[in-house]
Amino acid sequence: MIVRPYGDTRDDGVIQFSFTLPITHSPKAADVGKQFLEKLGFHDVAIAECTGIDPRFTFYVAYARTDQGIDPDEVKGDYLEVEVMDFYAVNDFIKEKLGRKLVVVGAAIETDAHTVGIDAIMNMKGFAGHYGLERYPQIDALNMGSQVPCTQLLKTALERNADAILVSQVVTQRNIHVQHLTQLIELLEAEGVRERFVLVVGGPRINNAFAKELGYDAGFGPRTTPLEVASFLAQEVVRRAGKA
Amino acid sequence: MIVRPYGDTRDDGVIQFSFTLPITHSPKAADVGKQFLEKLGFHDVAIAECTGIDPRFTFYVAYARTDQGIDPDEVKGDYLEVEVMDFYAVNDFIKEKLGRKLVVVGAAIETDAHTVGIDAIMNMKGFAGHYGLERYPQIDALNMGSQVPCTQLLKTALERNADAILVSQVVTQRNIHVQHLTQLIELLEAEGVRERFVLVVGGPRINNAFAKELGYDAGFGPRTTPLEVASFLAQEVVRRAGKA
Amino acid sequence: MTDAITIDQSLVDRARTAAADIADDIQRHIDAHTTDSTERATLRLLGVTGVNEIDVPLVNVVVEHARALLPGGVIRPFVDLMMQKGKSAQEAAEAIARGELALAEVPAERRAAAEARATELAREGVARIDGVRERRNALVAEIGEPLRPYVYVIVATGNIHEDAVQAQAAARAGADVIAVIRTTAQSLLDYVPYGETTEGFGGTYATQENFRLMRAALDEVGTELGRYIRLCNYASGLCMPEIAYMGSVERLDMMLNDSMYGIIFRNINMRRTFVDQYLARLLNARAGIIINTGEDNYLTTADAFEKGYTVIASDFINEAFAERAGLEKWQMGLGHAFEINPATPDQVVYQVADAQLVRQLFPEASPKYMPPTKYMPGDIFQGHIIDAMFNFTGIFTGQDIMLLGMLTEALHTPLLQDRYLSIKNAKYVFESCRHLRDEVRFKSGGIIEKRAGDLLSRAVDQLEHVREVGLFAALEKGEFADVERDPEGGRGAEGVFKRAADYFNPVFAALRDGRMSGPPVGPAPGTRTAAGEGRPS
Amino acid sequence: MTDAITIDQSLVDRARTAAADIADDIQRHIDAHTTDSTERATLRLLGVTGVNEIDVPLVNVVVEHARALLPGGVIRPFVDLMMQKGKSAQEAAEAIARGELALAEVPAERRAAAEARATELAREGVARIDGVRERRNALVAEIGEPLRPYVYVIVATGNIHEDAVQAQAAARAGADVIAVIRTTAQSLLDYVPYGETTEGFGGTYATQENFRLMRAALDEVGTELGRYIRLCNYASGLCMPEIAYMGSVERLDMMLNDSMYGIIFRNINMRRTFVDQYLARLLNARAGIIINTGEDNYLTTADAFEKGYTVIASDFINEAFAERAGLEKWQMGLGHAFEINPATPDQVVYQVADAQLVRQLFPEASPKYMPPTKYMPGDIFQGHIIDAMFNFTGIFTGQDIMLLGMLTEALHTPLLQDRYLSIKNAKYVFESCRHLRDEVRFKSGGIIEKRAGDLLSRAVDQLEHVREVGLFAALEKGEFADVERDPEGGRGAEGVFKRAADYFNPVFAALRDGRMSGPPVGPAPGTRTAAGEGRPS
Ligand code: B12
Ligand code: B12
Ligand SMILES: Cc1ncc(COP(=O)(O)O)c(C=O)c1O
Ligand SMILES: Cc1ncc(COP(=O)(O)O)c(C=O)c1O
């Protein structure tokens, strides 16, 4: 079924906008904003605010309506469905099914110095009340920290015979994260070791579909908990080991 | 010259959106929002927030880019250009050119009970540091208050032999203001007295172009000062009297 | 606040004395008059409901029909007719509407019987109200009581079913009170529309059926949330007591109900309004409803900085009227507002002074603090910030009921998402600043204490002046809200009658006798939602 | 606040004593070492600038070339060469870069002359800095000085020309300080890029030409507005003293300059950083630049509620280092931040405690208060509210420099309109709450006083512990920001040298001798913008 934005009543199509046009404010500035939104296909445009915030710029807040809708059923995507287990269940599952510790190596790669996200997933203290991977008796987790070059990450993963590699990418300006993430995939493929690892990426602008597109096995976005990651890793590594 | 929204650099076309879709939040809700904005013609959609605010509704905040632009020079409209005089100049002008007091009647018409706007223009104390029309020695101003039926307003205007009628319309839901304003015009025309008055409307959702469309002589929007109105009335009444 | 601002108690005493005298003076007028709506409300209490074939409520038909009898009160002839014809109140009213029966003066010999029966019926009507109040008490005890301040938001779609959807969403976002805004100008209708409605205009018709539908929606969501969700509407305008009655049986929890709002803002005749508000308040008092007074409105027409004292004066007057109708302190949602121009230097400091003064003058009342409206900008982002400072002022001065501001106040009645954002704003500010007021004491002789002292002494001056000239004359001179009203003018004047010597209406006494007391009590949402949740461990 | 929270003065004394001991210990290390960047900065002060054909700065080329001589200091051989060849510093450097000249140990007989000339040149270099400082004083006196707190915002387009456009717009909206964010990882570059740049990444390269361009843009808009607009950049990373030098001659007014940030957040070798920061601070001190320390960053990796005390401890350490470099109190923009999780009950109450403590511990300093970043939500409306409470806390506790939060913090570097909205938010909150702090006193024994006392006593414990183990060991154990660093590891270790017995560098003394003092003073924007404007008349 097609849905439209709901402002005050079903299907009224109301959307709120704000934007800045590089024009000097004048009596007609409001109409420039209005007609601009009309050109974009909206109607019933109400310019709530139109102020010159500088001799060169005019700022707008507006509401307008659209007749466009979208059918949510037609939106298809690769949504990660992890069966989240609890801390003890994850450990028992690894012990029982894998029969050894699961080895994980993680890092914020290349120029990215943001470690809070990967720390939240890997470090003892964890995130939002959930322990990090280091705390799991059945997981052997190494967090390599920030600005780790891909080559160094791979070297360590091979040395430790890791089951999984976790990378974090937070800075996304000019799509720098795409560049870094692709670099890692290419390196793994060049070395012929792509298939040896469950490859996971996370960050505030990451989602599973995007991660899959880039060639990763899974992607985790904002508010991920270590438990989700641990559950996924346990199940995926066991599955690959053919022991599930 | 075509201009586009300026987010961080010229022509990046960035716009901020917020809206609510009547769908249950789910892992794919963010993509529904994203694809919806793409359907509307935007690209580089970043869904900043996507939260279920109720089992039936999902709220979005997003940023996206458009390639559309607008040429401000092509936006034409009826912008009121009032030569704003000062308090003394207005009075002198009326005295000199008209040779008698300018008579004004005003009201918030029909179901509209909002009088603060018309009071700001007409009452002694005025608005934003400018005296209201009642304070002008050369203006004979009567503010009839709120919820004044059109018929009563007209009756009073005829009785007082008014030069100008000022009406205020604040409530605009379901375009009730259009209905009321049209009603007044039709009444004046039916009585054959439309041409006797300078007919002015004001309110937070009024502008000159809109007022002209409806058949008014001028429209005043938010933050109008009494001085602007007084200047306009003085000049327009004098012009009509052929004395300018 | 343990250490509040120092207030001159002698001024407070003078204010209360003057307000009492003002109200007593008006009470003499009230006790000597009845109105169309008073009589209609009386019939409703007997059980008369419904409309005729042209949608005129039966109570209007009956009262219209009985116009000549009104000075004596409609209930005696009406009950007499019921008794004579062996009909229920509803059957009698229907028959009158069809023109089959007519009301007439009750012959002396049947008076005592009719009056006795009327008294019985009035008591039965009041017992129904009591039943509803008991039900509220039971539900609150069972479902749970929100923390103070109550988060109060409006819905205003015009369609009661959409309203219900939005009200539930608001409750889930954290609202404790839902007010259904009325359609524009319902105040001026001299009847209460009937049945479920879906076509309001800037609000939804207040009808008994709409009350019922919304009540059910809120009970449902309140149970889900473990927090009793209160419902509010408007016992205001030309049908004040009738709507109060409907609220009392449909379990509304709050009612906008001001002794002077209709006069000032709706140009309703003042002789009419004062009489109407009295019965409305008796009903609210009985039903355990919290009234909200409308002083905030003054500051939309008068300047909040200069005329802040009129709010204080009016709060004392509303308190005095409320006491006379038997409302308990906790039922007094005295109004005040955050309306000083945000461009004023130290605006928040002044607002804290004003709000703190109200809090201290009416310590046991449930002040209702109204958000910024007049100076809300089209820039919704900035509006949201001004609302945050309102929320801050509310929690910092310990207000009980916070009507939340909306970032789109200058534009439209709230969208679903506006309400969500506004509740989130308030919840954050309340929880993050909850105990700040316990942490500080106000400096004596500072801006705050001076401003508060100034407001109070001006309010006393005004009250003493109003006592001298009389409230009618004061309203005539525009001493509240800068709006002037003619005591003989305004709408509904034709519906006021001097009571005859034998005026009879047992409803007033029935409403006073054996009234329950105290607010409903229930478990706090407590540890589960308020404490600990976000604290990093 | 006239009546502040009660603080145990003996704890404050213990903190200062411990911090002094910690700094003295490190100062011994500093005095015994030099670094690549110290030597490069020395050359810059002599006037060496520009890059070679592959864009390597000449100062890097010379220092690289002189590596073997560095323990004795580059200036003696360099000036000797200048004297021998009759060249200016720039000419000498160019010749070295072209391989035409070479540096060598100065023979004993030429030492005295070379040293005398070097001392003269150092004094001339310092005189240029003084000239710039005088120019600032004159401009502020002429153009005008903003009210406190300074409104500080960042620009970060990557293109210095767009930065200038946005900086001017920000100033017009009310910003007092513009910080140009550096391109990602410039900290880790062991050279300073040269010339005007238009292609940064999440920020704009810090180059001397970019400084100049931005300075001109801000002087222009400051004159227009009647408010001197301050410029800020980062004397941080591997080129700390060089950038400090550039700032000192291009009239930057503030510099991010922390004694430990590079170690903790950029994994720069600690033995290197401590030496570098010293010369950087001597330069900042001379130039009348306010430094901003980076304690806020700790709270992005460590928890702000639990580890709040580390900020206090670090502020004492930064203060001690600053004193050793001759920075006056007003030049110490000690860092702290509003980073407690907004879901924490009474978050703002705790933030008030933390901020008030900093204010009271460093009453003559210019604390720089950093906004919420870590917990900023994707919901920009809510983020805007959290920023408002940050603004509130800042004005309520009397901070001097407010780095404004952006509603889009969780998303992207600020858009033009984000900055505008954020400034509007802050200006409203500051003006509407300006005197609230004068109106209240904190209750003794309340949450605020307890929290502040707790932070202080833990900070003292930490400082005394650090004194015991030494700062290197403490950093090794992750005692700040929960980040552990190896004293021998990290970048730039190879650029640290033990000074030889005959190490010579007259710049240090020249920077200390005859220093001006006091902040620039100018007319307040005063009545024209601050007071009266919005007050209804
Ligand atoms: C803290 C912080 C810093 C700290 C970093 C300290 C550290 N050691 O991490 C410091 C101050 C050093 C810093 C510096 C910079 N920062 Co920064 N920083 C932030 C900030 C405030 C918070 C990030 C954070 O810690 N979030 C909390 C964590 C828990 O959330 P998270 O990262 O999303 O992680 C969760 C999920 O995404 C997921 N996840 C993340 N990684 C992974 C990995 C795996 C495997 C899995 C499974 C899951 C997972 O799980 C986590 C828990 O749920 C953000 C703004 C914000 N509020 O987001 C800006 C921000 C990220 N920074 C930004 C920038 C630009 C910078 C700089 C480049 C600025 C500059 N020019 O100097 C520098 C340089 C850094 C660099 N080279 O990378 C921008 C990025 C803009 C963009 N979209 O590209 C932001 C958005 C701020 C802004 N609005 O400008 N920053
Ligand atoms: C004050 C107020 C009231 C007061 C009115 C008191 C009074 N006597 O005026 C009270 C409380 C009674 C009230 C009631 C209602 N209100 Co009301 N009210 C407002 C409020 C808060 C401020 C309006 C105001 O006074 N602005 C200040 C003046 C100075 O500005 P202004 O009107 O724009 O006037 C300026 C210009 O427009 C111009 N101008 C205006 N008129 C004229 C005329 C001429 C001739 C000229 C030249 C210029 C001119 O000059 C003025 C000075 O610059 C607005 C919200 C807001 N912040 O705007 C809601 C608002 C207007 N109300 C609203 C509503 C829905 C109602 C009700 C219908 C609610 C209800 N269902 O009960 C009722 C019914 C009123 C009715 N029947 O009309 C909505 C309207 C939505 C819409 N766009 O349709 C608003 C926007 C609030 C909201 N967000 O829901 N309201
Ligand atoms: C006391 C009171 N009654 C009623 C109303 C509602 O207005 P009306 O029903 O007159 O449209 C208000 C609105 O603010 C009010 O404050
Ligand atoms: C003291 C200090 N220096 C420098 C920076 C800038 O970071 P970068 O290392 O990218 O230059 C910061 C950022 O917050 C800081 O606080």
Let me know if residue A126 belongs to a domain. Answer: yes
Instruction: Tell me which amino acid residue C411 is.
Output: L
Q: Are residues B59 and B138 in the same domain?
A: no
Neighbours of chain D (3+ CB pairs under 8 A): A, B, C
pLDDT of residue B129: 84
Q: Has residue D342 got a pLDDT over 90?
A: yes
> pLDDT tens digits for D459-511?
999 999 999 999 999 999 999 998 889 999 999 999 999 999 999 999 999 99
Q: Are residues B34 and B93 in the same domain?
A: no
What is the mean pLDDT of the segment spanning D298-309? Answer: 95
Per DSSP, C267 falls in state: -
Give the angle A141-A147-A151 at the CA atoms, nearest 5°: 75
> pLDDT tens digits for D28-52?
999 999 999 999 999 999 999 999 9
Q: Which of A93-107, A113-127, C1-15, D99-113 has the lowest mean pLDDT?
A: C1-15
Q: Calculate the alpha carbon distances from A140 to A83, A131, A135, A196, A230 in Å.
A: 21, 14, 9, 17, 11
Q: How many CB atoms lie within 10 A of CB C198?
A: 14
pLDDT of residue C3: 59
Query: Which residues of chain D neighbour A144 with C-beta distances below 8 Å?
Result: none
User: Is B23 near chain A, with CB under 8 Å?
Assistant: yes
Q: Are residues A119 and A68 in the same domain?
A: no
Closest CA–CA distance from residue A66 to any residue of chain D (Å): 22
The minimum-distance atom of ligand 1 relative to the CA of A201 is 45
Number of domains in chain B: 2
User: Is D385 near chain B, with CB under 8 Å?
Assistant: no
> pLDDT tens digits for A131-147?
999 999 999 999 999 89
Q: Has residue A51 got a pLDDT over 80?
A: yes
pLDDT of residue D185: 81
Task: Indicate which residue's Cα is closest to atom 4 of ligand 3.
Answer: C236
pLDDT of residue C530: 37
- The enclosing domain of B180 has a CATH number of 3.40.50.280
Query: Which residues of chain B neighbour C201 with C-beta distances below 8 Å?
Result: 173-174, 176
Task: Indicate which residue's Cα is closest to atom 16 of ligand 4.
Answer: D294
Let me know if residue A9 belongs to a domain. Answer: yes
Provide the terminal-to-terminal Cα distance of chain D, rounded to the nearest Å: 30
In this complex, do B111 and C416 lie within 8 Å of one another by their Cβ atoms? no
> pLDDT tens digits for C395-436?
999 999 999 999 999 999 999 999 999 999 999 999 999 999
What A180-187 contacts at long range (C-beta under 8 Å, 24+ apart), as own/partner pairs, is: A180/A109, A180/A110, A180/A111, A180/A112, A180/A150, A181/A214, A181/A216, A182/A214, A183/A110, A183/A150, A184/A109, A184/A150, A184/A153, A184/A154, A185/A214, A185/A215, A185/A216, A187/A150, A187/A151, A187/A154
Tell me the CATH number for domain D1-32+293-469.
3.20.20.440
Round the average pLDDT of chain C to a whole number and report it: 95
pLDDT of residue C264: 93
pLDDT band at residue D284 under the 50/70/90 scheme = very high
Q: Which neighbouring-strand residues pair with C448?
A: none
pLDDT of residue A152: 96
Q: Are residues B103 and B187 in the same domain?
A: yes
Domain boundary at B24, B54, B76, which? B76
Give exposure, C512-530, as e/b (b: 16+ Cβ within 10 Å): eeebeeebbebeebeeebe
Q: Distance from the CA of D236 to the center of ligand 4, in angstroms?
A: 6
What is the mean pLDDT of the segment spanning C17-39? Answer: 98
Residue ranges lining ligand 1, Cβ < 6 Å: A 106, 111-118, 120-121, 127, 146, 166-168, 170-173, 200, 202-204, 220-224, 229; D 181-182, 184-185, 202-203, 265, 297, 300-301, 373-374, 376, 409-413
Task: Give the closest residue to D352 by CA, choosing from D298, D300, D398, D307.
Answer: D398
Q: Which domain range does residue B231 map to?
A: 87-240
Q: Distance from the CA of C204 to the center of ligand 3, in angstroms?
A: 13
In this complex, do D428 and C379 lie within 8 Å of one another by their Cβ atoms? no
Let me know if residue B154 belongs to a domain. Answer: yes
Q: Are residues A220 and A146 in the same domain?
A: yes
- Is the ipTM, as predicted for this complex, more than 0.90? yes
What is the mean pLDDT of the segment spanning B29-42? Answer: 96
In this complex, do A8 and C416 lie within 8 Å of one another by their Cβ atoms? yes
The pLDDT > 90 percentage for chain A reads: 88
Q: Are residues A36 and A104 in the same domain?
A: no
In this complex, do D346 and C434 lie within 8 Å of one another by their Cβ atoms? yes
pLDDT of residue D385: 98
Instruction: Tell me which amino acid residue D518 is.
Output: G
Give the angle B172-B177-B178 at the CA atoms, nearest 5°: 120
Per-window interface: B 167-196 vs C, CB < 8 A: 171, 173-174, 176
Q: Distance from the CA of D374 to the center of ligand 1, in angstroms?
A: 8
What is the mean pLDDT of the segment spanning A193-203? Answer: 97
Q: Has residue D534 got a pLDDT over 70?
A: no
Q: Are residues A136 and A225 in the same domain?
A: yes
Query: Which has more pLDDT, D464 or D3?
Result: D464
Q: Which of A220-224, C220-224, D149-153 has the lowest mean pLDDT?
A: A220-224
Q: Has residue A115 got a pLDDT over 80?
A: yes
Q: Has residue D247 got a pLDDT over 90?
A: yes
Q: Of the residues B28, B125, B155, B243, which is catalytic?
A: B125
Residue of C nearest to D388 (CA): C385
Domain boundary at B57, B76, B95, which? B76
Task: Indicate which residue's Cα is closest to atom 15 of ligand 4.
Answer: D294
Let me know if residue A109 belongs to a domain. Answer: yes
The pLDDT > 70 percentage for chain B reads: 100
Closest CA–CA distance from residue D309 to any residue of chain B (Å): 33
Q: Distance from the CA of C14 to the center of ligand 3, in angstroms?
A: 30
Q: Is the CB of D183 under 6 A from ligand 4?
A: no
Q: Are residues A72 and A92 in the same domain?
A: no
Domain boundary at A16, A42, A76, which? A76
Closest CA–CA distance from residue D527 to any residue of chain A (Å): 22
Q: Are residues B214 and B123 in the same domain?
A: yes
Closest CA–CA distance from residue D19 to any residue of chain A (Å): 29
In three-state secondary structure terms, D495 is helix
Query: Which residues of chain D neighbour A204 with C-beta distances below 8 Å?
Result: 410
In three-state secondary structure terms, D52 is coil
As annotated, the residues of chain C forming the CATH 3.20.20.440 domain(s) are: 1-32+293-469
Task: Give the closest residue to C491 by CA, choosing from C270, C295, C278, C298.
Answer: C270
Q: Are residues B140 and B220 in the same domain?
A: yes
pLDDT of residue D529: 40
> pLDDT tens digits for D183-196?
888 999 999 999 99
Q: Give me the half-sphere count of Cα atoms (radius 13 Å) on the Cβ side of residue A213.
A: 9
B66, B75, B81 ranked by CB distance to A31: nearest: B75
D150 flagged as catalytic:
no
pLDDT band at residue C535 under the 50/70/90 scheme = very low
Query: Which residues of chain B neighbour A81 with C-beta distances below 8 Å?
Result: 27
pLDDT of residue D260: 95
Q: Has residue D416 got a pLDDT over 50?
A: yes
Residue ranges lining ligand 3, Cβ < 6 Å: C 182, 186-187, 234, 236-237, 256, 258, 261, 266, 294, 297
What is the mean pLDDT of the segment spanning B125-134? Answer: 88
Residue of B nearest to D160 (CA): B9
What is the mean pLDDT of the segment spanning D222-237? Answer: 96
Pick the ligand that lies closest to the CA of residue C483. Answer: 2
Q: Which of A80-89, C253-262, D318-327 has the lowest mean pLDDT?
A: A80-89
The pTM (predicted TM-score) of the whole model is 0.96
The pLDDT > 90 percentage for chain D reads: 93
In this complex, do D300 and A116 lie within 8 Å of one another by their Cβ atoms? yes
pLDDT of residue C537: 33
Closest CA–CA distance from residue C15 to any residue of chain D (Å): 26
Q: Has residue A100 got a pLDDT over 90?
A: yes
The pLDDT > 70 percentage for chain C reads: 97
pLDDT of residue B244: 64
* Contact assessment for residue C117 and residue C75, using Cβ atoms and an 8 Å cutoff: no
In this complex, do B61 and D379 lie within 8 Å of one another by their Cβ atoms? yes
Pocket test of ligand 3: the residue of C182, C233, C236 to mutate, having most ligand atoms within 8 Å of its CB, is C236
Q: Has residue D216 got a pLDDT over 70?
A: yes
* Contact assessment for residue C522 and residue C140, using Cβ atoms and an 8 Å cutoff: yes
Alpha-carbon Rg for chain A in angstroms? 24
Q: Has residue B82 got a pLDDT over 90?
A: no
Q: Would you name the residues of A annotated as active-site residues?
A: 125
pLDDT of residue D3: 60
Q: Are residues A118 and A69 in the same domain?
A: no
Cα(C243)–Cα(C229) distance, integer angstroms: 20
Residue of A nearest to B15 (CA): A19
Residue of B nearest to C423 (CA): B53
Contacts of C148 (CB under 8 A, 6+ apart): C400
Q: How many CB atoms lie within 10 A of CB C374?
A: 16
User: Is D377 near chain B, with CB under 8 Å?
Assistant: yes
- The enclosing domain of A71 has a CATH number of 3.30.30.60
Q: Are residues A126 and A153 in the same domain?
A: yes
